[in-house]
Structure 1
């Protein structure tokens, strides 16, 4: 007699499918999860669980694998990835989610394996998860005193090369604090569309809808939202009264100091958050050219501008690292939010832990330099350019700017502190560069400087 398959919770089924897309299709966790949640309506509780499972399994992958390996008679790297994903899903619930009963994590993992690969494989999954369940309170984690890099890499779930580099850069104590902060879920920051509503009005509106809203003391217009439910589901979002944008990214836009009526270029503009903030700071007066090399992602910019009702933005598909960029015209202000190693946004994109390699830093630094060299020629005399990256490597930050200025005597650093004192000036370092950190500011790690064309 064939047994009827047991049901699997919608949250776990969705999480497993998203994890497959992240690994098999190289998808971004945020986009893959958002796409799945749009297609499959879930209760608020199941949406929260699915989100927790996806980010948890990606974020803590190395630690989960260490715990699982002790109970698998086969090396994990020889397992079919579909089975390894199920094991990680079960292990995350056993190690990190006290609210999930151990039997539920084991039983549903076993059933997922049975439906996917049959009862024989299901028995293997059951044995591994049951073994972990029975020993999870006495796992022998590696000792940092013996091998600090490997031990911290496993305990905090990072590749060895990142741990080794961060210890050299920060020292061990700060490196651990940074890793811990980068493993915490990122806060949700929003920005009022000041063309339609004042920041105080938006905060009152969101608070009346049941959200806890806290304005930033450092970034004017930014507000942190404690997400009691899906922010995008609120009518204020549909009405274009705000957009979601990290506080450090908002600070980068303030750094450019745009004014109404200016002609501005937002290079590498997609998906459009900084474009929107610039347009709002300009009171939707003037012209912003939002350029990006990816047509599909540029469509996201147009969609966002339409929702927010911002009319001063036009879009252009363009590879600004190639010859011919000067044909786009001359600008009073340019924002170059350059492609980078993205090590400062691991809270939001934990999959980058496992995709980024040391060689990527040098490769991306070359692309950044090409963009800087071409875009600086598009500034009018006295025009400003902000160079920003959501990372903190010297090669993509201070060293990049030193080398650029050495080769471009027509350009100079433009210290924002020479003008009116602003709250976000507290985020500037001694040289006038904007530096934000997850452990120090609970913001993504950004490096940004403002440059000026002499004349």
Structure 2
């Protein structure tokens, strides 16, 4: 493989902003890809995948290269040299890249690979927390799976098209996607490609959504004509799926504290041909209070550590802090106490997270049921989805019923 200077420089620039300025990897990659309109799909995927790779393995590569934050340009090129050497790529004779002792790099890699926190490239505290919550054996498998590149999965918008028809339309656009067993609305790409440029996407035939994430809307057991409240709707990935299952009939009230995310939801809903969503920004407590006792179904897709989605957000390993996780657990408890009141007697709600930590998942549900706020609720079913078992994002979902008469 021959390295091209402008692609390597774009990668190093993106890494500098991610590591030194705390910018989000996906946003910086997006910015880097706009630098040169002449770049083809292979050039663009080199930048995206190399940047994500170095972000994912930052701790391991830093240890091998003997560099520390803040990362100077010289040190970022060292990290790049480690990445290239471990992939058997011959480094060019550029002044930015010093002569690289490949034998020493490989020797150090073998030595550090015996220690999990280096092998899986994670902070000490995260390794300790994973072991404490899941046990050594499960955590070992889970963190390994979360370091794999996430597959690209589409969710068929069944309001507009069937899975088989979408598959053949994509094939005509040179995109090969296969059905995923056990996931009724999912198609998985054989090769990574920019599906947002396809006519099928522009016509609202699909959304990109992880396979396990697609199970949440089905878990909620919605039916056409119901009144559903999606309390932490964000940009509405799950909201749109609920609308499709409800066949555009009934009402979905989508609330969020971030108005800009709800604007994105409106845009996506228009493209998808969804017209039963009523977005409401939570700018005062009145917005939620007005909904008390009115919903057949409530979805709480709660804010969480996001530990189940590290494969698609590897920079979260370096942004997350233990204090954040402790604080988010308090937020989860408050949200459960408040938003559960939206449910009608006899209604059902689903509490879901994209975390694999029991303290954010089943323990939150147990504590809620033991509190005053949860005294009229009972657990109907729950589901723990591990990346190491399914090959998709780590998720948790629990259905609770309001047993009040």
TM-score (normalised: structure 1): 0.81
CA–CA separation in structure 1 for the residues paired with 2:109 and 2:268 = 49
Q: How does 1:95-110 map to 2 (within 5 A)?
A: 95=86, 97-98=87-88, 100-103=89-92, 107=94, 110=95
- Output one character per residue of 1:301-337: Cα deviation in whole Å (capped at 9) or x when no partner: 12211221211112121168x5652124521111111
CA–CA separation in structure 2 for the residues paired with 1:79 and 1:340 = 28
Question: Root-mean-square deviation (CA), in Å?
Answer: 2.3
* Match of residue 136 from structure 1: 105
Q: How does 1:118-129 map to 2 (within 5 A)?
A: 126-127=97-98
* Match of residue 147 from structure 2: 183
Q: 2:78 matched to 1:87?
A: yes
The alpha-carbon deviation at position 341 of structure 1 amounts to 0.7
Q: Extract unaligned runs of 5+ from structure 1.
A: 1-6, 70-75, 112-125, 415-431
Change in 2 beyond 3 A, CA 1:77/1:23: closer
Query: Quick check: 2:112–2:118 contact (8 Å CA) kept in 1?
Result: no
* Match of residue 68 from structure 2: 77
CA–CA separation in structure 1 for the residues paired with 2:53 and 2:376 = 48
Query: Quick check: 2:16–2:71 contact (8 Å CA) kept in 1?
Result: no
Query: Quick check: 1:102–1:133 contact (8 Å CA) kept in 2?
Result: no
Change in 2 beyond 3 A, CA 1:336/1:441: same
Match of 1:384 among 345, 348, 358: 348
* Match of residue 218 from structure 2: 254
Q: How does 1:315-334 map to 2 (within 5 A)?
A: 315-318=279-282, 322=285, 325-328=288-291, 330-334=294-298
- Output one character per residue of 1:68-123: Cα deviation in whole Å (capped at 9) or x when no partner: 01xxxxxx33665444333223322222x33x4222xx62xx44xxxxxxxxxxxx
* Match of residue 447 from structure 1: 396
**More helix as a share of residues:** 1
Query: Quick check: 1:10–1:46 contact (8 Å CA) kept in 2?
Result: no
CA–CA separation in structure 2 for the residues paired with 1:313 and 1:174 = 40
The alpha-carbon deviation at position 183 of structure 1 amounts to 1.0
CA–CA separation in structure 1 for the residues paired with 2:345 and 2:36 = 53
* Match of residue 21 from structure 1: 17
Decide which structure has the larger Cα Rg and report it.
1
Change in 2 beyond 3 A, CA 1:47/1:378: same
CA–CA separation in structure 2 for the residues paired with 1:306 and 1:16 = 38
Query: Quick check: 2:133–2:357 contact (8 Å CA) kept in 1?
Result: no
Query: Quick check: 1:264–1:333 contact (8 Å CA) kept in 2?
Result: yes
SS in 2 for 1:131: coil
* Match of residue 121 from structure 1: none
Match of 1:37 among 30, 33, 38: 33
CA–CA separation in structure 2 for the residues paired with 1:265 and 1:347 = 29
CA–CA separation in structure 1 for the residues paired with 2:74 and 2:311 = 26
The alpha-carbon deviation at position 225 of structure 1 amounts to 1.3
Match of 2:58 among 61, 65, 79: 61
**Number of aligned residue pairs:** 398
